[in-house]
Amino acid sequence: MSGEETDKVTPLRPKRPCPECGRPSARETYPFCSTRCKQVDLNRWLSGSYAIPVRDDEEDDGEEPSQ
């Protein structure tokens, strides 16, 4: 490979802003910019700040409610 060919490396992922602070993401901590932002996000998941919404009319067992 010549020097010209190695300069044209396509990035694996597009650059995106960090979901926590908005700075450019880093390859080592993608999609976050730093280990700190990555850990802040993990703490929010573990503490229950983030939750997947569930409708009240859904049953746990998937059966129709009896009347």
Instruction: Tell whether 33 is in a known binding site.
Output: yes
Instruction: Tell whether 18 is in a known binding site.
Output: yes
Which of 2, 29, 27 is closest to 14 using CA atoms?
Answer: 27
Instruction: Tell whether 56 is in a known binding site.
Output: no
Burial 4-20 (b: 16+ CB within 10 A, else e): eeeeeeeeeeeeeebeb
Instruction: Tell whether 37 is in a known binding site.
Output: yes
Binding site feature residues for Zn(2+): 18, 21, 33, 37
Binding site feature residues: 18, 21, 33, 37
